[in-house]
C-alpha cells in the first residue's frame, strides 16, 4: 500500500469519533511532521505514523489492549511494519526499544504535544506568543493537565538529544498553522 497521511487519517477517523482524540492525533502529527522536515526524513510516513499512534485508543482504552491489540488491525489494513513498530514503541508499558529516529521523535512529541495543547487551550491567544518558559512553569504544577506524564516529557527531549526549551518551541510552532483545527484561539481572533 502507499503510505499517506490522508490514508492514516481515514483509518484514524474510522476507529475514533472523539474530537479530543482526533485533535491529539493532529497535534502529534504536526510536531512529528515538523521534525521529519528538519531531519530530512520521509514526512508522509512519519505523519501517517503520528496520526495512527493512538488510533485504537477509543476501542482499546486500557493498557492491556492499547496499542498492542491495534497492531493486528493495522497489519490487516496493510500498513508497513516500520509504521506498526513505531506505533507500538510509543507505549511505555511495552518497553520496546526506540531504536529509530521516528520512534524517538514520536515518543518525544506525544506527551509534549498534549501538554502544549492544554497550555494553549487556557490562553486567549492559544499557542500564539506561548513561551517555553511558561510551558516549563506549568510542567511544574502537578494539577495542570494532570494526565500528562511529566517524566515522559523530560525523557523524550533527552532521548531526542534536544534542549527542552527548543523542543517546546518546535512543538509550539508546529501547532500554530493548525490552531483552528485544534480548537485553539489565535492572536487574530482573540476575544
Ligand atoms: Fe497511546
Ligand atoms: Fe498519544
In this predicted model, what pLDDT tens digit does every residue of 145-155 receive, in sequence order? 999 999 999 99
Confidence (pLDDT) at 191? 61
C-alpha cell at 181: 483545527
Q: Starting from the CA of residue 67, give the closest ligand.
A: 1
Identify the pLDDT of residue 89.
98
For residue 28, report the distance from its CA to the centre of ligand 1, in Å: 11
- What is the model's pLDDT at position 116? 98
Calculate the alpha carbon distances from 129 to 32, 71, 123, 133, 174 in Å. 21, 38, 10, 11, 13
Summarised one tens digit per residue, pLDDT across range 34-66 is: 999 999 999 999 999 999 999 999 999 999 999
pTM above 0.95, yes or no: yes
Q: Quick one: cell of 5?
A: 497521511
Q: Indicate the average pLDDT of the chain.
A: 97
CA of 189 from ligand 1 middle (Å) equals: 32
Separation of CA 187 and ligand 1 centre (Å): 31
CA distance 82 to 146: 32
Q: Is the pLDDT of residue 90 over 80?
A: yes
The pLDDT of 115-125, averaged and rounded, is 97
Expressed in angstroms and rounded, the spacing between residue 191 Cα and the centre of ligand 2 is 30
Taking the CA atoms of 154, 175, 68 and 44 in sequence, report the sign of the dihedral they define.
negative
Predicted confidence at residue 1, as pLDDT, reads: 87
Is the pLDDT at 19 greater than 90? The verdict is yes
Amino acid at each position: 500500500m502507499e503510505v499517506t497521511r490522508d490514508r492514516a487519517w481515514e483509518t484514524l477517523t474510522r476507529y475514533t469519533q472523539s474530537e479530543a482524540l482526533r485533535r491529539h492525533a493532529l497535534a502529534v502529527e504536526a510536531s512529528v511532521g515538523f521534525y521529519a522536515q528538519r531531519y530530512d526524513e520521509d514526512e508522509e510516513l512519519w505523519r501517517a505514523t503520528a496520526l495512527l499512534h493512538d488510533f485504537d485508543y477509543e476501542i482499546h482504552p486500557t493498557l492491556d489492549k492499547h496499542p498492542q491489540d491495534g497492531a493486528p488491525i493495522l497489519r490487516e489494513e496493510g500498513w508497513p511494519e516500520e509504521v506498526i513498530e513505531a506505533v507500538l514503541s510509543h507505549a511505555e508499558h511495552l518497553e520496546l526499544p526506540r531504536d529509530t529516529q521516528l520512534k524517538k521523535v514520536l515518543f518525544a512529541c506525544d506527551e509534549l504535544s498534549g501538554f502544549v495543547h492544554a497550555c494553549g487551550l487556557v490562553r486567549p491567544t492559544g499557542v500564539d506568543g506561548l513561551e517555553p518558559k511558561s510551558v516549563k512553569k506549568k510542567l511544574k504544577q502537578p494539577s495542570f493537565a494532570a494526565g500528562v506524564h511529566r517524566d515522559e516529557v523530560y525523557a523524550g527531549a533527552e532521548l531526542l538529544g534536544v534542549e527542552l526549551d527548543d523542543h517546546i518551541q518546535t512543538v509550539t510552532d508546529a501547532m500554530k498553522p493548525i490552531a483552528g483545527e485544534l480548537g485553539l484561539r489565535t492572536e487574530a481572533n482573540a476575544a
